[in-house]
Structure 1
Amino acid sequence: MIKLIECPRDAMQGIPNFIDTAIKAAYINQLLEIGFDTIDFGSFVSPKAIPQMRDTAEVLELLDLHQSRSKLLAIVANTRGANDALLFPQIDYLGFPLSISETFQQRNTNASIAQALETVEEIQNLCEVKGKTLVTYLSMGFGNPYGDPYSPELVAEFVQKLDQLGVKIISLSDTIGSASPELITQLFEIQIPAFPHIEFGAHLHSRKEDIAAKVKAGIGAGCSRFDGALNGFGGCPMAKDELVGNMATERMIETLEGLGHDLGLNKAELNEAMKLTSFVFNQ
């Protein structure tokens, strides 16, 4: 079964002008009508670091979850954020960004990789106690621009460490949009057979014309969990390329359905959400 994770949090977080809390909630409520597996809806991080997400708790209280099959995921960057997120029973998943790049880990969470791994262990233990699931994102999972060490073998070493901590979902993340279909195939063909008890996902950034090839590469290598954002909004500012955003969910849907996958989505509600994006993101 294919799992689509819609990521309004990732789409919104880099927008400098604050999006009104009610608008955020209305947009996410529309996404909840579509039938995505999970909505990455917000983050419990420092408001100084990500000002756009300072109202995540308020947004959560405005969400209507009663008729939705979608689960909620919140990003956290430390144990304090995890404890804040765990106060809300509506949240199913906590997401933590663990980088293969030492430079990016410092920039992203102000911690070393060694410290971040300790945090992963702490959050994993908290999730087990609270009945939640930790999703660990291996950022810079397809290379980095800093000259830090990178190889498919290094990715495997990180996966092994996370497996030892009991992490059950790992999303390989292409933070700067550099992953080729060939590398996507290689990484998933290495990891998925070696760790059959782990659910692997793909959080990729891409130009729109490259999305179909990347989805096909992931599917062909056994990946069945894909993150995206409608219209491809969001992405990594460090990419320094406005054409490289999140994987456009509508393009992924088109590709997956073309491959014969029934995603069980409500297309009428999807069309309504697509109409809202221009208003929400002021494009």
Structure 2
Amino acid sequence: MKIIECPRDAMQGIKDFIPTEAKVKYINQLLKVGFDTIDFGSFVSPKAIPQMADTAQVLAGLELDKSSSKLLAIIANTRGAEEAAKYAQIDYLGFPLSVSETFQQRNTNKSIAEAMQQLAEIQDICQKHNRTLVTYISMGFGNPYGDAWDVETVIGFVRELDKLQVKIVSLSDTIGVATPENITYLFTHLIPAFAHIEFGAHLHTTPTAWQEKVEAAYRAGCRRFDGALRGYGGCPMAKDELVGNMPTENMISYFENIGVDLQLNKAALQAAMAESGAVFL
């Protein structure tokens, strides 16, 4: 079981700039918990996501020698991939690929066809620099723009990613519309069909729907889950209002209640929960 903690996703939509020192302090606390991976920042245009303009400075302040967690950075083009690949501390580069043409334009200022071409170039950069590409299938459970969506379309995208030898694919419920039914269908069809790919669930949610989504993905065989403490954040490019991230503490409680040993440092987790209040409130 892998829990991916996403302070980047929690922070990126906040209008007021969070001081670099506060980000460093918070992420250093998260690094003590024992999460598999920390999605800590992004190398994207500061005009698009001003909150992440200091990602390189944040990285310089992280105490990685004291942690087993790996680092993931989001990129939106080859320039960002080349920049992120310069830092040996970063293990994963994450790229958002949307099944919605409208959202792909809004999120990365390119068409799906252009994004696929960039993805091939980014995969080449990752392979040359011994990094692992994580591809997020954004709007993977539907979209608010009226763009065509069905489960076969999502499966078709995975086939294309498989041709590029992408090893990690995370299905993203960008606007919180996933249902237990389509979560179950996608994971139960994708996991056996592409056994060599690690599938993840990046589920945004309303406060009342989180458990049915986590439960559906877990029962369907998913063993990689993204979350953010207290459910802060969401995608600022999705619509005018934000749908919150999956609360990490809720997922932890669910998995522990069904007997999954996540091997997390509970004292460090509680300290991170307290620190999150200072960062986001």
Query: Residue 213 of structure 1: CA displacement?
Result: 1.2
Partner of 1:201: 200
Q: Does 1:9 align with 2:8?
A: yes
Sequence identity (%): 64
Amino acid corresponding to residue 230 of structure 2 in structure 1: N
CA–CA distance in structure 2, aligned partners of residues 173 and 55 of structure 1: 25
Q: Does 1:169 align with 2:200?
A: no
> Which digits, 9 at most, give the CA deviation of each residue in 1:138-161, with x for residues without a partner?
000000111111000000100000
> Which digits, 9 at most, give the CA deviation of each residue in 1:63-115, with x for residues without a partner?
00011010000000000000000110000000000000000000100000000
> Do 1:177 and 1:205's aligned partners in 2 also have CA atoms closer than 8 Å?
yes
Name structure 2 gaps, 5 residues minimum: none
Query: Residue 239 of structure 1: CA displacement?
Result: 4.8
> Do 2:136 and 2:171's aligned partners in 1 also have CA atoms closer than 8 Å?
yes
Amino acid corresponding to residue 40 of structure 1 in structure 2: D
Partner of 1:40: 39
> Do 1:35 and 1:265's aligned partners in 2 also have CA atoms closer than 8 Å?
yes
Partner of 1:101: 100
Partner of 1:87: 86
> Do 2:9 and 2:235's aligned partners in 1 also have CA atoms closer than 8 Å?
no
Partner of 2:214: 215
Partner of 2:190: 191
CA–CA distance in structure 2, aligned partners of residues 201 and 232 of structure 1: 18
> Do 1:77 and 1:109's aligned partners in 2 also have CA atoms closer than 8 Å?
yes
> Do 1:138 and 1:170's aligned partners in 2 also have CA atoms closer than 8 Å?
yes
Partner of 2:66: 67
Q: Does 1:228 align with 2:227?
A: yes
> Which digits, 9 at most, give the CA deviation of each residue in 1:216-253, with x for residues without a partner?
100110000000000000013445555x3000000000
Query: Residue 209 of structure 1: CA displacement?
Result: 2.1
Q: Which runs of 4+ in 1 moved over 2 A?
A: 236-242
Partner of 2:114: 115
Amino acid corresponding to residue 89 of structure 1 in structure 2: A
TM-score, with length taken from structure 2:
0.98
Amino acid corresponding to residue 76 of structure 2 in structure 1: A
Partner of 1:125: 124
> Which digits, 9 at most, give the CA deviation of each residue in 1:8-58, with x for residues without a partner?
000000101000001000000000000000000000000000000000000
CA–CA distance in structure 2, aligned partners of residues 186 and 259 of structure 1: 22
Partner of 1:53: 52
CA–CA distance in structure 2, aligned partners of residues 257 and 218 of structure 1: 16
> Do 2:191 and 2:221's aligned partners in 1 also have CA atoms closer than 8 Å?
yes
SS of aligned partner of 1:57: helix
> Do 1:177 and 1:239's aligned partners in 2 also have CA atoms closer than 8 Å?
no
- Aligned-residue Cα RMSD (Å) equals 0.9
CA–CA distance in structure 1, aligned partners of residues 209 and 149 of structure 2: 23
Amino acid corresponding to residue 102 of structure 2 in structure 1: T
Partner of 1:178: 177
Paired residues, what number? 280
> Do 2:75 and 2:95's aligned partners in 1 also have CA atoms closer than 8 Å?
yes
SS of aligned partner of 1:128: helix
Partner of 2:260: 261
Distance 1:235 1:97, change over 3 A: same
SS of aligned partner of 2:66: coil
CA–CA distance in structure 2, aligned partners of residues 102 and 17 of structure 1: 30
CA–CA distance in structure 2, aligned partners of residues 261 and 101 of structure 1: 35
